Each structure stands twice: as C-alpha cells, then as structure tokens.
Structure 1
C-alpha cells in the first residue's frame, strides 16, 4: 500500500508542469543623438551613465540612431517592447526628450496591433524569438515616465538653432511633432511628465519656462497643434501656469489624455542634460522608477 502511495505521488509530481514565471523590466529610451550607443545591445547604457547605477528592475537600454527620423527608427523601439513587454512579462518605460516621441509613436500607431509573444532572449540585433506562436494586442506596459519630453517639439528646431541638420531636427519642429501621431492615443497608459526649468541665456527662443532645450508646453504634455508659453506659478508674461497632475493649465488649455505632470520645476533646479551621469531632469525620473518599477 505504501509503495502504491509513493508511486501515485511521484506520478503526480512528474505530470505537474511549472508555470512560466513573469518578469518585470524597465526600458530606457534615449532622445536625440544618443551618444553612439549600440543598437540592439540592451545592456549599453553609455548614453545615460554608469550601468551599475540603479535605474529600475531589470533595466534595459533601448538604443536607436538619434540623428534620424522617428518613423524610420521606431522599429527598434517596437523590437524592445516585443522582447520584454509581451506574454507574462510587464514593463515600466522611462524616456528622455525625443524618446517621448518614440514611445508615443509606437503606442499610437502600433499599440493596437497583434504582437507575437516573445521569449526575452534577444539576438545580436535585439530581436527576440517567439514563445508559443500566439499573439496579443499591444504591449504589457504599467506606466511611462518622461524626462523633459519632446512630444510637443522644440522652438530650437523651429528656429534652426541646432547647427547640425540631422533628419530628426525636422521631426522636432513644434507643429511637426504635434501632428506626427495622435498624442491622446496612449492605449490608456499614463505618461508621468517631469518638466525642468533651469534655462539659460538663449531661453528667449523657447516659449515660457524651459530647461535649455524644451519648453513647458512640451515637457508638460500640453495639448494642441502648436506650442505656447507656460510657466511656474507667479511668473509674468506667460500664456498660463503649467498645473501639476492632469489638470488643465491656468488659461484652460488641456493636457493630452493620460498625461500628468509629476514634477514641475518650481525651483528651476533641473536642466535638460544627463551629462553622461543620470543628471539633470533624468535624475528624478531615475529615482521614480527605482521606487515604482517592481
């Protein structure tokens, strides 16, 4: 009898197939230029800073050619989303500057498409293999953190202030960036906007408060087909105050859907640039994903 019981227990143990374990990832999408990063190498954080720095659970660097147009490079972003944000796996997304355009473009234009579930094991080109051949709609994204988002473009592009004539500069013209895709179509994913205000002497080119490269109308996710001058409370000669959260600006101008200002730089402490050391407005975004990506 005891031998029979052991045999039954053994058989049941053999028949039980372990469930695939879910893994959470943090994807970092850089902006314009990108510092000579290796496309397809998800461990190359040279654009951001030391790879040893904490930057969210299972962090991955999503590298693309930041001199080229958004549409032509967006496939690299979709490869990463397919790799790490399908099947049982979930992602927190962190972006900087034109990386805002990249994730917005991916979600608006491809976030409702069928995506093969991938195995999170990329080849040298950054492409992962299928798991079971089944698909899902869009990607498993928890939330998006945006450091100095250029989803609304920059007046520096409008005025031709960037000396290099890289193709991406055309995409960063305010009217072009704002009409490139439907910025309201986030697939119900929240975009938490971190808006820096440590501008510099040429800030007059940028409307309202700015971080040396992008103004509040863009970094705050303010809606519309053109920019505007938005500022901190109490500042003069602005179109309105950039209010925090999802609230409209003080002049009634709404933010895009699912865009919420998590940090408005009232102390003018953060500029646009990471300086190769997770600095500037990237710093508080890094701190946020360390806390909230799990």
Structure 2
C-alpha cells in the first residue's frame, strides 16, 4: 500500500477520534445545598435534598451534595470538585445555591477563583472527582461560570446561629454567626460573576430574633447580599420601622451598599415565601428554580 495514503488515512482517523472531545462542550447547572442532611456527596444525580429529581432545574443538572453540617472550609473541597468537573475546559456552568450553599460557593470563588484548576473529562468517579482531560493534565485559571442564583442566601449569616438556636457542636452553625461568616472571605471577590439574590419574607416562628424582614431562618441583610461586618434591619418598601432592601445592585436605603456583583432579583414584597424546601423545591427556592429552568440553557 502507498505509505503516503496510509499516513493520510491514519491522520484522518486520529482527527475523527479527537472529534468527541471537541464536540463534548456542554453547559451544566450545579445545585448546591444548604444546611441539613440530604443527598450523597459525590453523587451528582442524587437530588433527595431538593425534591423529585425529574423536576426541570436547568440544563444537565447536577446535585453538588455536601454534608450540610461541617465547616465551610472543610466542606468546600466537595464544591471545588464539582466546579473542576463541570466548569472547566470548553464546559460552562450555571450555579443555583440555597441558604448555606451561598457562603460555600462564595468562599470558593474568593479563595480559589483565580487558582489553577485542572481541566477534566466531566465524567465523575464515585467520590465526585473527574479525571484530567487529555494528556499532560492541562489547567486553567479559575472556573467558567455564567452566573450564580441564590435563594435564602446565608452569606451574611443568621442571628439564629448568633444566639445558639442551633446545636452548638455543629461546625456549620458556628460558621454561620453573622460576624464570623462575614469575615470568612471577601464577599466582593467573585471573579466578576454575578450573584442574583432571592429574598423571602414569610417569617413567623423566629422573627423576633431576626432583624427586619426574614424567611424564618435568614433576614434580608443576608438574603439580600447587604455588605458590612454585621447584620442590619432591612424590609420591604412601606415598612416604617426599618430601611428598604432595594432591588438590583442599588445601594440600600440608609446608604449601605450590597456586596459587589450582588443583585436582588426577587424581594418578597407579598411575604409569600418561607425558607423551607419541604423536600419538594418549595419556599423561596421555588421562584429561583423557575428562573433557572427558563434561563439555564
């Protein structure tokens, strides 16, 4: 056989073999849980924390399950594994975070968002870790993230942790004290990625412990991304006893801004949404899920 023709044929076979790698570019939607037990860490298809897995929750949805009780620093590696798996190389991510999922995502962006990350195959093992893509284990700076949506965000902490309303032996409860989590990382350091905040206001049981409007677990100062070293009282327009939480990235009434790249897209003016998922995508996570379904394509 003509050796030139053989070489040409081998070249095209190699090129065809490389096509799946090029064609594998995809978008993924990562769901990062909050406090409390739920799905199995490393199992990206276990949505038992949220509700029925059949629910539409964005393109190629993945459940980023961490234990919901350990410290943010300790558990943050589980989230980094998912970011490395699905948000590197030619792949991009949308992120939906709930409650304590907010600070664990923010912590990773602030501390590791400009670090060298392995480009991976997006195929995970049982521990939720993806193998490096191609030969030579290429890396990139940070992750490919289109946006982050946050329901009932606890990035500003909760007064329930301050007063010991939760088990004091739980590391996460200690982390979620308002002064502690606000000092844990630079909330302004998001790598230019927007955090779109959903703030619920149907609080009842613990409202006397939480300043301003709340969803029964976190107050508007946290779920609305209000900056500062401690919480404050923020409410819906028309409340005479506290300042307004503004929509978008606008400075709040009284002059206190939100953290950089944080915007309120839902302020619960009708006081309809509680904190709780009820294992069925409910509470303030419900309108976030609907927006993710419509825009994470």
Partner of 1:3: none
- Say whether the 8 Å CA contact 2:30–2:61 is kept in structure 1: yes
Matches within 5 A, 1:1-294: 14=13, 16-17=15-16, 18=19, 19-35=22-38, 37-132=39-134, 133-163=137-167, 165-238=169-242, 240-294=243-297
TM, length-normalised to structure 2: 0.93
Once residues 228 and 177 of structure 2 are traced to their aligned partners in structure 1, the CA distance between those partners, rounded to angstroms, is 14
Structure 1 alignment gaps of length 5 or more: 1-6
- Say whether the 8 Å CA contact 2:66–2:78 is kept in structure 1: yes
- Say whether the 8 Å CA contact 2:161–2:174 is kept in structure 1: yes
The list of structure 1 runs, each at least 4 consecutive aligned residues, that deviate by more than 4 angstroms after superposition, is 9-16
Once residues 293 and 9 of structure 2 are traced to their aligned partners in structure 1, the CA distance between those partners, rounded to angstroms, is 43
Once residues 83 and 14 of structure 2 are traced to their aligned partners in structure 1, the CA distance between those partners, rounded to angstroms, is 34
CA RMSD after TM alignment: 1.8
TM, length-normalised to structure 1: 0.94
- Say whether the 8 Å CA contact 2:200–2:267 is kept in structure 1: yes
Structure 2 alignment gaps of length 5 or more: 1-5
